[in-house]
Amino acid sequence: MVSIVETGLDHQEIKKMIFDHVKNRLLLCAIDLKIFNLLDAPVEDDRVSAQLNTRPGNTRLLLNTLVACGLVIYKNGKYENTDLVLVSDTLCYEGETLDRIVSSISDALNPGGVMIGIHGVLTKDRTGPDHMALGMLPDALMARGELPDEGFLPPALFRNGFRQVHTKNVFMVYSEMEVDIARK
């Protein structure tokens, strides 16, 4: 058995791997519950719990963790949305079109605002993953578009005013998707 010292990983790297996964799952849970829909105006946790029909203590824990991750604001006993744009499989454009769209998103966000992009992508050599390559084949053959290469979004985000970008592949429903979280 190989010890952790022999792998070259330190405890901070392992902690980051674990908590990045937890943060991704937390975000997906909040999206599934439509929590962000309830936070357009400041609201107390018990009201969120009542609207979701969830346990008050668990709802408070979820909201507090969203605050800790920077996805929700907590002020004067109430929770509200951060400045956030979520895009899913919609930024699969090239060149100037992508820059124009990302620039518009950047312009719409306040300083510190967050954009989360979730996209199916192909490997750099465009040969996988197999289900992505096969899934986009009919559209590609009819010249209606193709999936972008992995890592396509961060350069456009940096060019258009985002100062931090974190990219990770996350398994969602049936496939790994590339998730980019960018802060202006």
Q: What is the pLDDT of residues 79-108, one digit of tens each?
A: 998 888 888 887 776 667 899 999 999 999
pLDDT number for residue 1: 56
pLDDT class of 5 with cuts at 50, 70, 90 = low
What is 84-183's CATH number?
A: 3.40.50.150
Question: Stretch 114-125: mean pLDDT, rounded?
Answer: 87
pLDDT number for residue 129: 83
Asked whether the CA dihedral 15, 18, 19, 20 is positive or negative, the reply is positive
What is the token pair recorded at 172? 């969602």
For the chain, where do the domains classified as CATH 3.40.50.150 start and end? 84-183
Q: Which of 6-20, 48-62, 117-131 has the lowest mean pLDDT?
A: 6-20
Q: Is the pLDDT of residue 8 over 70?
A: no
Predicted TM-score of the model (pTM):
0.62
Q: Which of 4-13, 98-107, 114-123, 149-158 has the lowest mean pLDDT?
A: 4-13
Q: Is the pLDDT of residue 3 over 60?
A: no
What is 10-81's CATH number?
A: 1.10.10.10
Cβ(150)–Cβ(127) below 8 Å: no
What is the token pair recorded at 132? 């992505």
For the chain, where do the domains classified as CATH 1.10.10.10 start and end? 10-81
Q: Is the pLDDT of residue 4 over 70?
A: no
Q: What is the pLDDT of residues 29-77, one digit of tens each?
A: 898 899 988 998 999 999 999 999 999 999 999 999 999 988 899 999 9
